[in-house]
Amino acid sequence: CATPAGTGPKLGFTAVPPSRADTVVVPPGYTVQVIAPWGDPVGIAGAMPAWRPDASNSAADQAVQLGMHHDGLHFYPLGSGADGSRRGLLVMNHEYTDDGLLHPGGLADWSAEKVRKAQAAHGVSVIEVAQGPDGWQLVRPSRHARRFTASSPFAVGGPAAGHPLMRTAADPAGRTVLGTLNNCAAGMTPWGTYLSGEENWAGYFNGPAQPDAHQARWGIRPTDFYRWHQHDERFDTTRHPNEPNRFGWVVEIDPMDPASTPVKRTALGRAAHEGAWVATTRDGRAVVYSGEDARFEYIYKFVSRDRIAPGGAKANATLLDHGTLYVARFDADGTGRWLPLVHGQGPLTAANGLADQGEVVIKARQASDLLGATKMDRPEWLAIDPRTREVFCTLTNNSSRGAAGRPGPDAANPRANNVMGQVIRWVDEGDFDGTTLRWNHLVLAGDPTQARAEAQGTVRGDFFACPDGLAFDQRGVLWIQTDMSSSVMHQGEMARFGNNQMLACDTASGEIRRFLTGPVGCEITGCAFTPDGRTMFINVQHPGESPSERSKADEPTRFSTWPEGPGAARPRSATVAIRKADGGLIGT
Contacts with Ca ion, residue ranges (CB under 5 A): 380, 468, 483, 523
Compute the least distance from the CB of residue 513 to ligand FEO, in Å: 24
How many whole angstroms from its chain centre is CA 568? 28
CB of 290 or CB of 560, closer to ligand FEO: 290
In whole angstroms, what is the distance from residue 260 CA to residue 152 CA? 12
Compute the least distance from the CB of residue 183 to Ca ion, in Å: 11
Q: Is the link from the previous residue into 563 a cis peptide, with omega within 30 of 0?
A: yes
In whole angstroms, what is the distance from residue 117 CA to residue 94 CA? 13
Compute the least distance from the CB of residue 274 to ligand FEO, in Å: 5
Please name the residues in contact with 565: beta carbons below 8 A apart, sequence gap of 6 or more.
none
The binder of 506, among Ca ion, ligand FEO, none, by C-beta within 5 to 8 A per type, is none
CB of 99 or CB of 523, closer to Ca ion: 523
CB of 171 or CB of 468, closer to ligand FEO: 468
3-class SS string, 35-78: ECCCCCECCECCECCCCCCCCCCCHHHHCCECCCCEEEEEEEEC
Compute the least distance from the CB of residue 471 to Ca ion, in Å: 12
The SS3 assignment for 213 reads: helix
Interstrand relation of 511-517 and 460-461 (parallel, antiparallel or unpaired) = parallel
The binder of 428, among Ca ion, ligand FEO, none, by C-beta within 5 to 8 A per type, is none
CB of 150 or CB of 585, closer to ligand FEO: 150
Q: Contact, 397 vs 487, CB < 8 A?
A: no
Compute the least distance from the CB of residue 29 to ligand FEO, in Å: 31
Q: Contact, 193 vs 168, CB < 8 A?
A: no
In whole angstroms, what is the distance from residue 104 CA to residue 89 CA? 32
The binder of 199, among ligand FEO, Ca ion, none, by C-beta within 5 to 8 A per type, is ligand FEO
Compute the least distance from the CB of residue 325 to ligand FEO, in Å: 20
Binding site for ligand FEO (CB under 6 A): 95, 184, 199, 274, 293, 380, 468
The binder of 447, among Ca ion, ligand FEO, none, by C-beta within 5 to 8 A per type, is none
CB of 12 or CB of 72, closer to ligand FEO: 72
Q: What angle do CA 400, 406, 408 make, to 5 degrees?
A: 85
CB of 142 or CB of 413, closer to ligand FEO: 413
Write the DSSP assignment of 155-202 as a string of letters. Answer: EEESTTTT-GGG--SS-TTS-EEE---SEEEEEE-TTS-EEEEE-SGG
Return phi, psi of residue 532, to 5°. -80, 0
CB of 252 or CB of 293, closer to Ca ion: 293
Compute the least distance from the CB of residue 145 to ligand FEO, in Å: 25
Cα–Cα distance list, 390 to 216, 302, 358, 385 (Å): 35, 16, 31, 5
In whole angstroms, what is the distance from residue 222 CA to residue 203 CA? 9
CB of 290 or CB of 530, closer to ligand FEO: 290
Compute the least distance from the CB of residue 200 to ligand FEO, in Å: 7
In whole angstroms, what is the distance from residue 250 CA to residue 267 CA? 9
CB of 199 or CB of 254, closer to ligand FEO: 199
Interstrand relation of 273-280 and 390-395 (parallel, antiparallel or unpaired) = unpaired
Compute the least distance from the CB of residue 398 to ligand FEO, in Å: 12
First to last CA, the chain: 18
Compute the least distance from the CB of residue 413 to ligand FEO, in Å: 16
CB of 465 or CB of 505, closer to Ca ion: 465
Which position's Cβ is nearest Ca ion? 483
